[in-house]
Amino acid sequence: MNIGIVLAPYYKHIIDGLYEGATRYLSAKGIDFQYFEVAGALEIPLACQMLAKTEQFDGLIALGAVIRGETAHFDYVCAESARGLMEVSLQHNIPIGNGILTVENESQALARSSEDESMGKHNKGNEAAHAVVSLLELKKTLQR
Ligand SMILES: Nc1c(NC[C@H](O)[C@H](O)[C@H](O)CO)[nH]c(=O)[nH]c1=O
Ligand SMILES: CC(=O)[C@@H](O)COP(=O)(O)O
């Protein structure tokens, strides 16, 4: 099993936490992974489509953090990155875990990308990795 991780280090310290959460989950299950960087969350869907077309990955994980600013740009970045991921996943029949945070402020982002469980919220990178693996396990069951 080979997982492609597409990450957008717009906020590097936050993405590092998401990446740690995702890769700890994959490593604990003995699953191989490779990562690829893009500029921001809006570029993640096309990168996922590029990887899906290689047919070298069983699943993909998208890691990003979108924090609301002063304008409506937040709404478009969140909506279009999520829509793009769903479109690629369904069109290419490839499981994609959406670990793109869409939050109001940095505090909310840190709470969802921390390695310290005492921060209260789950690590969304870990959650995205679990989501992909669970879909791949379902796929394996159906192929029996
Ligand atoms: N504001 C955030 C962005 N904005 C950049 C876009 O994702 C994109 O790179 C740009 O519009 C050029 O196409 N990206 C994030 O990942 N997080 C943000 O908070
Ligand atoms: C969420 C974003 O897109 C970020 O760039 C916010 O920028 P702005 O303050 O110009 O809305």
| Residue 41 labelled as part of a binding site | yes
Give the residue numbers spanning the domain of 112.
Answer: 2-142
Its pTM stands at 0.96
* Domains: count for the chain: 1
Q: What is the pLDDT of residues 116-141, one digit of tens each?
A: 766 556 899 999 999 999 999 999 99
Q: How far apart are CA 116 and CA 111, in angstroms?
A: 9
With a 6 A CB cut-off, is 120 part of the ligand 2 pocket? no
Can you give the CATH number for the domain in which 62 is found?
A: 3.40.50.960
Q: How far apart are CA 75 and CA 71, in angstroms?
A: 9
Q: What is the pLDDT of residues 39-78, one digit of tens each?
A: 999 999 999 999 999 999 999 999 999 999 999 999 999 9
pLDDT value of position 119: 55
Q: How far apart are CA 7 and CA 70, in angstroms?
A: 24
* Ligand 2 pocket, mutate which of 71, 77, 81 (most atoms under 8 A from CB): 71
Q: Is 13 a catalytic residue?
A: no
